[in-house]
Chains A and B, each alone.
Chain A
Amino acid sequence: SAVISQKPSRDICQRGTSLTIQCQVDSQVTMMFWYRQQPGQSLTLIATANQGSEATYESGFVIDKFPISRPNLTFSTLTVSNMSPEDSSIYLCSVWGGGNQPQHFGDGTRLSIL
């Protein structure tokens, strides 16, 4: 399966600031996704990162808050903008190679907002 590197692994940020999370995969993949896992909760899909075009956001998530880039088939970034304590979560990148392949996940970014 693909090797996924997600950076940073954790961070503590001040409210009102922004943080960009990087996701790098070691092979070209069909699709990349970003999920949020709030404390003690399950995973919620934020958006699908589309190569060379705007990301596709799920209901409740907007581009101004969570801008996403995917400049090529192996790399994507998620920015959490104007952070508040409610944004304290684990953010996970996943990749999908197409067909019957399952999604594979990075180790996540553990974000705390003070």
Chain B
Amino acid sequence: AQSVTQLDSQVPVFEEAPVELRCNYSSSVSVYLFWYVQYPNQGLQLLLKYLSGSTLVKGINGFEAEFNKSQTSFHLRKPSVHISDTAEYFCAVSGGSEKLVFGKGTKLTVNP
């Protein structure tokens, strides 16, 4: 079985500052990893995914994540955030089947 831990429930940052949202996973099999973003009153939008290959994955809106197998982590980063990045971010894992297991989410608030 898989599980996901998002270490920070809330992350406040100032505009143009860098941000890292942390995600650790647990799995007994090879995994696929995902980050989704949920803007207020919207569904989930895929930011990026790791399936195999390069451990640095680039996504939309300037976000990137690095898969670290030894530390079982998949942290999300952005070098300079905008007000419009204010949203909730979910890390998710799949053990190769279609089922996704989500973390509890991290609320990113970007302040001017």
Chain A residues close to B by CB (< 8 Å)? 1, 4, 6, 30-31, 33, 41-43, 45, 48, 92, 94, 96, 98, 100, 102-108, 110
Interchain CB contact under 8 A, A96 and B43: no
Q: For the complex, is B25 an interface residue (Cβ under 8 Å from A)?
A: no
The 8 closest A-B pairs by CB, nearest first: A107-B43, A105-B44, A105-B43, A42-B104, A42-B102, A43-B102, A108-B43, A96-B98
Interface residue range, chain B? 10 to 19
Closest to A96 in B: B98
Using Cβ atoms and an 8 Å threshold, which residues of chain A touch B84? none
Partner of B34, one of A41, A102, A108: A102
**Interface of chain A: mostly helix, strand, loop or mixed:** strand
Return 20 A-B CB contacts under 8 Å, by A number.
Answer: A1-B46, A6-B43, A31-B98, A41-B105, A43-B100, A45-B99, A48-B98, A92-B43, A92-B44, A94-B44, A96-B98, A100-B32, A100-B51, A102-B49, A103-B98, A103-B100, A104-B46, A105-B44, A105-B45, A108-B43
| Complex alpha-carbon distance, A67 and B95, angstroms | 27
Partner of A42, one of B34, B46, B51, B105: B105
Using Cβ atoms and an 8 Å threshold, which residues of chain B touch A1? 46
Please encode chain B, from 9 to 38, with 1 for each CB lying within 8 Å of some chain A CB and 0 for all others. Answer: 000000000000000000000001010100
Contacts A105-B44, A107-B43 hold; do A45 and B98 have CB atoms under 8 A apart? no
Tell me the minimal C-beta distance from B105 to chain A in angstroms.
Answer: 5
Chain B residues close to A by CB (< 8 Å)? 32, 34, 36, 41-46, 49, 51, 90, 98-100, 102-105
Partner of B90, one of A6, A31, A42, A48: A42
Partner of A110, one of B41, B44, B99, B105: B41
Closest to A104 in B: B46
Interchain CB contact under 8 A, A42 and B103: yes
